[in-house]
Structure 1
Amino acid sequence: MREFSLPALYEVPSDGNLTDLIRRNAAQHPDVAVLGRKVEGVWTDVTATQFLAEVRAVAKGLIASGIRPGERVALMSRTRYEWVLLDFAIWSAGAVTVPVFETSSAEQVQWILGDSGTAAVVVESDAHAAAVRSVSDGLPELRHVWQIDKGCVAELTAAGAEITEAVVDERSATAKADDPATIVYTSGTTGRPKGCVLTHRAFFAECGNVVERLKPLFRTGECSVLLFLPAAHVFGRLVEVASVMAPIKLGCVPDIKDLTAELASFRPTLILGVPRVFEKVYNSARAKAQADGKGKIFDRAASTAIEYSRALSGAQGPSLGLRIRHKVFDALVYRKLRAVLGGRGEYAISGGAPLGERLGHFFRGIGFTVLEGYGLTETCAATAFNPWDRQKIGTVGQPLPGSVIRIADDGEVLLHGEHLFKGYWNNEAATAEALADGWFHSGDIGTLDEDGYLAITGRKKEILVTAGGKNVAPAVIEDRIRAHALVAECMVVGDGRPFVGALVTIDEEFLAHWARDHGKPAGSTAASLHDDPDLLAAVQQAVDDGNAAVSKAESVRKFRVLNAQFTEDAGHITPSLKLKRGVVAKDFAEEIESIYGA
């Protein structure tokens, strides 16, 4: 058993709640822009004073509408300014926020609103409102449905016109540090989602220590962050609360399709994303270079960036020749890549899935360091992350200051600290199973090195056991295969089978570039090229690269390229892009059987 901890850098308030942050900001930084919002297509600053006033006005409306302290109010919307405004307004009314992914089905909406006993819900669109109405008969505690696109902010502001400032002050002080701030439902890769109860204390411990350890990334008045992750996800909430805590300017992007344009216009100093975002940046840049006849230059620049980053970790550092090559490629390639990311940033934080060592070195080598972290809903987002000044690529970093990471005898990662969830809402059995003797059993398998850096090698429940008795952690090889530009998703199979296989889906966006460069017909799809030898050879290269990371017994012997994609609508992936292995295995059972056929 191995264990590592770091001392806390932030003193969690003995009492109080998250609404203290916006009052403090208005008092200490009244004219500092704490948020950016789009007004008629133009980014407009919202000062700490303005934000506090808007939050209190909406909170008055919630109070006037009969929302009581401790009641649950759901938020179902894309990531936008109103999400942050309403979140703090709900807290200011003494209530508890229940985020709902805007892509949720009516059945999922019914479960979350019903299980949490939600008294009111704020939705964004007509489609969201229709989903709630379709299940409202089974939600006896639901009294209000407000809609952002129908002007609910103005509606609530008008409704609360007669509520006094003293009433809001009283309500804002209702919740104590150990009271629930939010109930975040897990993505539910298996079974129904469970509601993780996260307290105000958990957010203080989480965000306070993140901000302190990454202080140069959170400089008030200088730094900014663009949030394009789902605000309903716990990682998105970390970004929201940490930005307000610092404070630095926070901008929200509702549609990731607009991300490139929004990065160019908002120009953040810090980006938080999932590995797929950074993979897309790399693959799109490489595809554009190839289309412009500069593919060989790009590949040499990428190799130089990776070599340069690896050398930074060595005792001698980069050689003179490598530094000269790096400087040349900085002028030719790297500056353009940094411009795509907004042009001002030097750091990003990645979570949700493994980034991959090669991609980590590539981005650090171009002058845009991606700090990888690790966390779960139950840990209020990050429970480990790479510090800005002591990054160790290939790991998810050291423990959150003030917390402890322990590796059990069977390799499971156990966690302890004030940032942990209080328990699962209405589910004592699941709580008792996950929280034992003050330790959260993460279900992940990992290792700790001598400096306390954590590496995650797989999920305990996802370990495959082949017919030959070999234990296989799918994540290790899947991450390597998925790093290939042509691969959208990969799922390793082989439980109880004679060898390991894989299902592979093709990235349709990159396929168009690949098809053109390889003389394939215009408009080619994964289905039309299903048996194409060139495509299969390219995927085999990705598989070979993945196999290089594991033993022969764990390597993928056969794969099948699927005609379809793993989608959230089909139930194959969660909103946070985690595979629902059982659903995929059921829907593609025939393809799996074909891997093991004669």
Structure 2
Amino acid sequence: MKTLADLFQSSKNKYGNLPAFLTKNQSGEFDPVSYSEIYEFGLQLGTALIELEFPQKGHAAVLADNRLEWIITDYAVIMAGGADVPRGTDVTDSDLNHILPHSGATIVFAENDTVLKKLYQNPNSIQNIHTIILMDKNAKGTGKELKFWDLVQRGKELRDNGNRSIEDRISKIKEEDLFTLIYTAGTTGRPKGVPLTHKNIMSQINRIPIRLQAGERILSILPVWHSFERMFEMVCIYFGAGTYYSSVRTLKEDLKRVKPTFMASAPRLWESVYQGIYATVSKSSIVKQKLFHAALFFSSNIQSAKRWLSFRELDMTGRNFIYSFLVGIFKSIQYILNIIPAALLDLIVLNKIRQATGGKLKGTVSGGGALPSHVDKFFNAIGIQVLEGYGLTETSPVISVRILDQAVIGTVGPLYKETSLRIVDPNTSKILWTTEEGGPKAYSVKGEIHVKGDQVMSGYYHDDENTRKVMQGDWFNTGDLGMMTFNNCLKIVGRTKETIVLLGGENVEPVPIENILSQSEFILQCMVVGQDQKYLSALIVPNPEFFPEYKPGIGFSSAEEEARCAAKIQGVIRNSISATNGFKSFERVVDFRLLPKPFETGDELTAKLSVKRHVVTDKYSGLISDIYSDKKEEVLR
């Protein structure tokens, strides 16, 4: 299969009456739509779009969250030969005013009246839009918009009368054509458009290393317009699985109701489940607590032994045969001694914990940020396989992912099939490790990750300047730091680029936040941190002109003076990074630390006075660890 249109038709022919997508009705029950039905809905809506003069290779914006109408729209736009420009209902005014004109969209699908109101409050965003389509049946609109299901019915009437315009469009789709144009999330007002082709996405689907079975139940909770969830839904279509649209708010109930067998997820979800389990255990009787910890102990020993004996234990040093053999003997004895108590306690304790996920969950792919090691090991120990992956929107998105027979905890797995990779020294551009034949193979050496393959975009949409920053021929510079382990798995160890990905998968551009903070007379320099954490924090250099007690290289001479400075800076943060200034809740700076000296050229700063984020992160790793050691949950008020 070369295009998504091929995929949609193939799945309809293979899985016809199987449930493809399931959404909740007013009673809270899931209503199924089969593969045959979703395909027909797509043809009908696509036919109506063609009547509305939606052109081949045209762009249609879709401003909606996970729902049946979303996936029907996706089918329709793609089969009509176009590309969608997706965004959630939380789209900001600045996003609308940039994305809609920049993308060249001529049609907008709006989920409800709230989204419609945003559009009309930003008239410049819709100056090139000739049609607005309301998805929600209960949306009132203004009378100028078209209704989604009316268009589906119109398309059905056209097809009943012999209209086959969409089949003609399908026949003209090429693998080089765009199927989507996703704008990276950010706060700069100028998010970058990532154009992904049918070839990009089909390279992911055709080479998927994880196998699903027709009829499997998949719970969907991540935003469908994000590239990770989008790709995973296409994989589900490929295998004939049923996707249940849920949300974080109803996840607990839906896990028990749906009893999913597999799902895509973000690290924050599993940390939340982890914390919930421990909170429940802490409220239990002493006997139940001891049983829980005993079960975890024995199961962890069993899993550790299995990893070692199957060569799936993280190897950063290239262990020699004698050492591996001796440890192997110990692990074999460990396995034998722990197997019986582990099995009994699994039946008594851990099986009940797994029931909280429905009891049928075989595994989950986690993406959008790093999975905390303790959470990773915990779920592995209780019998839920979390397969961590790595990628970016620009790579459609997967570069590497753990697979069941190569699930090395602490890594993001082996490279995706037919993916080329280089580990490059960010300072000298020297290649340290590469998949290229005859190239260097320096294992466990940190460098910048560059990738090449069919999943990589050709460049940002109508943005040569940003394209030049990341593309070197066919090679894409991810801006992430990583290394190849001796297990031939990729390990992510940091970032050189600016975007911060929080534990919940939210993408934050720190520069606008830093620019706002640096406007304060009390702050000389600052750097926002928070990669793979729940919230943002900041490292701040006070301005000595306003705090004469602050001595560069020493800091404050007294705790009282430091506290006075901290109080003023806390006030700056509270007043500057707020909802009234256009910042979202996850963009707020929750905590900060004062640094003992300013950033200097040649050390923390480049010749252009740009902050070397990875250098600052390494230098002040202790301070950053201290910020997040208390698991602080509240935000500054």
Q: Is the Cα–Cα contact under 8 Å of residues 406 and 414 in structure 2 kept in the other structure?
A: no
1:555 aligns with 2:616: no
SS of aligned partner of 2:449: strand
In the TM superposition, 1:170-209 aligns within 5 A as 170-188=168-186, 192-209=190-207
User: In the alignment, what sits opposite 1:413?
Assistant: 449
Letter in 1 for 2:151: L
SS of aligned partner of 2:229: helix
1:280 aligns with 2:347: no
Letter in 2 for 1:201: K
TM-score, scaled relative to structure 1: 0.75
Alignment partner of 1:125 out of 106, 112, 131: 112
User: Post-superposition shift, 1:138?
Assistant: 4.0
User: In the alignment, what sits opposite 1:225?
Assistant: 218
User: Post-superposition shift, 1:374?
Assistant: 0.4
Alignment partner of 1:458 out of 483, 486, 494: 494
CA distance in 2 between counterparts of 1:553 and 1:328 reads 46
1:93-126 Cα shifts (integer Å, max 9, x gaps): 2111101122111221221112112111111121
CA distance in 2 between counterparts of 1:499 and 1:63 reads 69
In the TM superposition, 1:295-374 aligns within 5 A as 295-315=289-309, 316-317=331-332, 318-374=334-390
Alignment partner of 1:162 out of 155, 158, 164: 158
CA distance in 1 between counterparts of 2:22 and 2:126 reads 36
Q: Is the Cα–Cα contact under 8 Å of residues 73 and 90 in structure 1 kept in the other structure?
A: yes
Letter in 2 for 1:311: A
Unaligned runs of 5+ in 2: 139-146, 310-330, 427-446, 501-509, 511-526, 543-551, 556-561, 567-590, 592-616
* Structure-2 change in CA distance of 1:277 and 1:553 (3 Å): closer
CA distance in 2 between counterparts of 1:119 and 1:499 reads 59
1:239 aligns with 2:232: yes
User: In the alignment, what sits opposite 2:8?
Assistant: 22
SS of aligned partner of 1:333: helix
Alignment partner of 1:67 out of 54, 66, 85: 54
* Structure-2 change in CA distance of 1:401 and 1:309 (3 Å): same
User: Post-superposition shift, 1:344?
Assistant: 1.0
CA distance in 2 between counterparts of 1:404 and 1:283 reads 38
User: Post-superposition shift, 1:31?
Assistant: 2.5
CA distance in 2 between counterparts of 1:28 and 1:114 reads 40
CA distance in 2 between counterparts of 1:397 and 1:373 reads 7
CA distance in 2 between counterparts of 1:489 and 1:324 reads 42
1:260-314 Cα shifts (integer Å, max 9, x gaps): 1112122211011011000111111111122233444434444444333222212
CA distance in 1 between counterparts of 2:360 and 2:84 reads 33
User: In the alignment, what sits opposite 2:19?
Assistant: 33
User: In the alignment, what sits opposite 2:398?
Assistant: 382
User: Post-superposition shift, 1:343?
Assistant: 1.4
The structure with the larger Rg is 2
Letter in 1 for 2:337: G
Which deviates more, 103-112 or 306-315?
A: 306-315
Letter in 2 for 1:374: Y
* Structure-2 change in CA distance of 1:187 and 1:551 (3 Å): closer
1:261 aligns with 2:253: yes
1:55 aligns with 2:42: yes
Give me the CA root mean square deviation.
Answer: 3.0
CA distance in 2 between counterparts of 1:442 and 1:176 reads 27
SS of aligned partner of 1:188: coil
User: Post-superposition shift, 1:144?
Assistant: 1.4
- Percent sequence identity is 25
Q: Is the Cα–Cα contact under 8 Å of residues 528 and 539 in structure 2 kept in the other structure?
A: no
User: Post-superposition shift, 1:498?
Assistant: 5.9
CA distance in 1 between counterparts of 2:343 and 2:337 reads 10
User: In the alignment, what sits opposite 1:570?
Assistant: none
User: Post-superposition shift, 1:141?
Assistant: 1.2
Unaligned runs of 5+ in 1: 1-12, 465-471, 483-487, 504-529, 531-549, 567-587, 592-598
1:391 aligns with 2:407: yes
1:350-392 Cα shifts (integer Å, max 9, x gaps): 0111112222121111111000000101001211101121110
CA distance in 2 between counterparts of 1:281 and 1:106 reads 34
